[in-house]
């Protein structure tokens, strides 16, 4: 195997996320931040419960002891391949065991996984590699009828930093790509000889839903991310008997650590991977593996409830269904417990940090009508009016937050500091919420220029910029409209110098442009001119009400 050239950038102090020292000391003194790094989680599990099952993917199973030895050998092989502490690695895998194994192996090295979504294409991946100067890109050979090797070949030609492409499956016509299965080099030196990353080091990069044209990256540290998962696992009451089914993409913060995969492994439970969210697949897995907790987005809920009523599988092991990432309508929420016989847990989170959960013993009305409350007593939450003044409970305003696992700045983009953070370090979520005296939050809307398409976030500006490349489109504005199934879908209002394209034509154009498919507008409306506000900005509120 060819080695990665030694000219790539190594970790810099600048990449280490910074909390003011006063806050860092406080979080450490309370024991929220500990001397822990994510790569040691499998080893701790192997010490505490070696024979318990940690991971299940189809017919493949790993006990904690096996997980530890697999991660160890993978990490050593990746090190021999040239990967080093601080290196960024774009990880784009579906829900297969290699995601989990590869992720922990990178952590063990102190390398930094960059969480790409399975649906991302040239536009997004290229941006991620450029921004992070990634040295490696991990892909499946093919997934969802897409050949990732072709995209990887393009990326390798385009980005000099990209030394290695690692493929789960067949490398095809690219002998220079490394098969994941070849990373089994038992003769590679032990990782103990390499430096352990520090708890305050950058551990992973998550993708933000974004509202500024190019996806921003969220730096998470070992100590903040481990705390995020542990605090969530406490509220979700995870134990070594818990069996978590990963239905949503693993790359999603929700699935990874809310409490998700990390919270389950910290508790000594079992993680089961679902290859897709269809009720058939999921119900079979819940029955077979005696799943106790799983997590979905709102559009999946009615679909599961309907299928359940028709096929009545044995879901008696299921204690908790987490629902989040978009607003769950109250009436659907009320149907979950009576139909499935489990507790609903609402989840209002963000890759940027702040996570809100309902507790399993919260009153029914709170569970069905709020999106939970912050998981840490150190989460500071403000609800403010448009002048930034704090509002009393019960009034609607923008949610601002800071705390032990909420970012203080985006990765390598100081230019976003002013728009997304207050002077004293609060992150402006862009969400409109109401707070109850108990601290529970209800999400009522948003001020950010985003479409929440059933939990998938679409940055309006990013799509608008791409639409302007379509021949004949003079100006464009993308807004949300209500949708029965998805909650929201996207509509593009376009001003055209010639015949307006159909939604299908635009989707094909955007696909060619390399944009992920879910970002294509669901509907296109031709319009004479875009309405403007008195300040001369596109009046999106007016467009939304035109529908
Ligand atoms: C999760 O993370 P992101 O980064 O994809 O999106 C965050 C945004 C929030 O700012 C809010 O606008 C929306 O998604 N959102 C919700 C919601 N949960 C998230 N809006 C209404 N109701 C909810 N329950 O989406 C995410 C991250 C971790 C856990 C769960 C979701």
Instruction: Indicate which atom in ligand 1 lies nearest the CA of residue 450.
Output: 12
CA of 354 to the centre of ligand 1 (A): 10
Which distant-in-sequence residues (6+ apart) come within 8 Å of 80 by Cβ?
Answer: 185, 188, 189
Domains of the chain: 450-546 (3.30.300.30)
Most ligand 1 atoms within 8 A of CB, residue of 254, 258, 324, 345 to mutate: 324
pLDDT score for 6? 41
CA of 487 to the centre of ligand 1 (A): 13
Q: Which residues line ligand 1 (CB under 6 A)?
A: 209, 253-254, 258, 324-327, 346-351, 355, 371, 429, 431, 443, 446, 452, 457
Angstrom CA distances, 425 to 27, 297, 509, 525, stand at: 15, 30, 40, 40
Contacts 24+ apart (CB under 8 A), 445-448: 445/396, 447/398, 448/211
pLDDT score for 15? 85
Which distant-in-sequence residues (6+ apart) come within 8 Å of 47 by Cβ?
Answer: none
pLDDT score for 209? 80
Tokens of 213: 């044209």
Return the ∠ at Cα 490 (arms to 485 and 491), rounded to 5°.
Answer: 125
CA dihedral sign of residues 314, 316, 322, 326: positive
Instruction: Indicate which atom in ligand 1 lies nearest the CA of residue 455.
Output: 25
Max Cα separation, the chain?
69
pLDDT score for 9? 45
The number of angstroms, rounded, from the C-alpha of 17 to the middle of its chain's C-alpha atoms is 19
Reported as a single tens digit per residue, the pLDDT across 259-303 is 999 999 999 999 999 999 999 999 999 999 999 999 999 999 999
Residues of the chain with pLDDT under 70: 1-14, 192-194, 210-213, 547
Going by CA atoms, what residue is nearest to atom 22 of ligand 1? 327
CA of 294 to the centre of ligand 1 (A): 17
CA of 288 to the centre of ligand 1 (A): 30
Using CA atoms, how far apart are residues 519 and 506, in angstroms rounded to an integer? 11
Q: Which residue matches tokens 């309902």? A: 358
Going by CA atoms, what residue is nearest to atom 12 of ligand 1? 431
- DSSP letter string over 136-186? EEEEESEETTEEHHHHHHHHHHH-TT--EEEEES--TT-TTSEEGGG---T
Q: What pTM, to 2 d.p., does this model score?
A: 0.96
3-state secondary structure (DSSP) of residue 266: helix
Instruction: Indicate which atom in ligand 1 lies nearest the CA of residue 324.
Output: 24
Using CA atoms, how far apart are residues 474 and 538, in angstroms rounded to an integer? 14
Going by CA atoms, what residue is nearest to atom 3 of ligand 1? 350
pLDDT score for 8? 43
CA of 87 to the centre of ligand 1 (A): 28
Reported as a single tens digit per residue, the pLDDT across 474-525 is 999 999 999 999 999 999 999 999 999 999 999 999 999 999 999 999 999 9
Across the chain, mean pLDDT equals 95
Pick from 499, 494, 500: which is nearest to 468 by CA? 494
Using CA atoms, how far apart are residues 476 and 537, in angstroms rounded to an integer? 12
The DSSP secondary-structure symbol of 474 reads E
* 523 sits in which H/E element: strand 523-526
CA of 515 to the centre of ligand 1 (A): 22
**Burial zone of 303 (CB within 10 Å; 0-12 exposed, 13-18 middle, 19+ buried):** middle
Going by CA atoms, what residue is nearest to atom 2 of ligand 1? 350
CA of 432 to the centre of ligand 1 (A): 12
């Amino acid at each position: 195997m060819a080695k990665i050239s030694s000219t790539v950038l190594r970790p810099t102090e600048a990449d280490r996320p910074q909390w003011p020292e006063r806050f860092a000391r406080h979080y450490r003194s309370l024991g929220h931040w500990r001397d822990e790094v994510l790569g040691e989680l499998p080893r701790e599990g192997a010490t505490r419960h070696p024979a318990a099952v940690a991971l299940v993917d189809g017919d493949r199973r790993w006990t904690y002891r096996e997980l530890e030895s697999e991660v160890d050998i993978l990490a050593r092989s990746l090190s021999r391949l040239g990967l080093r502490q601080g290196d960024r690695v774009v990880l784009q895998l579906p829900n297969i065991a290699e995601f989990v194994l590869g992720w922990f192996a990178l952590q063990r090295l102190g390398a930094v996984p960059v969480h790409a979504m399975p649906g991302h294409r040239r536009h997004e991946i290229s941006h991620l590699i450029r921004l992070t100067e990634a040295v490696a890109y991990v892909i499946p050979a093919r997934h969802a009828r897409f050949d990732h090797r072709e995209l990887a070949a393009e990326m390798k030609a385009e980005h000099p930093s990209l030394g290695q492409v690692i493929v789960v499956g067949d490398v095809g016509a690219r002998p220079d790509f490394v098969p994941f299965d070849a990373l089994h080099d038992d003769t590679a030196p032990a990782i103990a000889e390499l430096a352990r990353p520090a708890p305050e080091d950058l551990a992973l990069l998550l993708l933000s839903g974004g509202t500024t044209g190019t996806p921003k990256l969220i730096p998470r540290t070992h100590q903040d991310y481990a705390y995020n998962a542990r605090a969530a696992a406490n509220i979700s009451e995870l134990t070594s008997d818990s069996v978590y089914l990963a239905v949503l993409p693993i790359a999603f913060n929700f699935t990874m650590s809310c409490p998700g995969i990390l919270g389950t492994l910290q508790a000594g439970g079992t993680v089961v991977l679902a290859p897709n969210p269809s009720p058939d697949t999921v119900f079979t897995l819940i029955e077979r593996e005696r799943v106790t907790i799983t997590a979905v987005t709102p559009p999946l809920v009615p679909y599961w409830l309907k299928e359940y009523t028709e096929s009545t599988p044995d879901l008696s092991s299921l204690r908790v269904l987490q629902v989040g990432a978009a607003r769950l309508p109250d009436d659907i929420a009320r149907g979950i417990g009576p139909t499935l016989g489990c507790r609903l847990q609402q989840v209002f989170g963000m890759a940027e940090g702040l996570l809100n959960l309902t507790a399993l013993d919260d009153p029914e009305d709170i569970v069905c009508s709020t999106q939970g409350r912050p998981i840490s007593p150190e989460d500071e939450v403000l609800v403010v009016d448009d002048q930034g003044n704090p509002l009393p409970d019960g009034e609607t305003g923008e949610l601002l937050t800071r705390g032990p696992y909420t970012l203080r700045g985006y990765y390598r983009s100081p230019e976003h500091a002013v728009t997304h953070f207050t002077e004293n370090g609060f992150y402006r979520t862009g969400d409109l919420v109401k707070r109850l005296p108990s601290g529970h939050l209800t999400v009522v809307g948003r001020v950010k220029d985003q479409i929440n398409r059933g939990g998938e976030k679409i940055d309006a500006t990013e799509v608008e910029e791409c639409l302007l490349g379509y021949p004949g489109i003079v100006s464009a504005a993308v807004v949300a409209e209500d949708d029965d199934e998805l909650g929201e879908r996207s509509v593009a209002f376009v001003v055209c110098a010639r015949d307006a394209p159909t939604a299908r034509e635009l989707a094909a154009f955007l696909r060619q442009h390399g944009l992920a498919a879910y970002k294509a507008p669901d509907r296109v409306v031709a319009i004479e001119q875009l309405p403007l506000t008195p300040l001369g900005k596109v009046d999106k509120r007016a467009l939304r009400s035109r529908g």
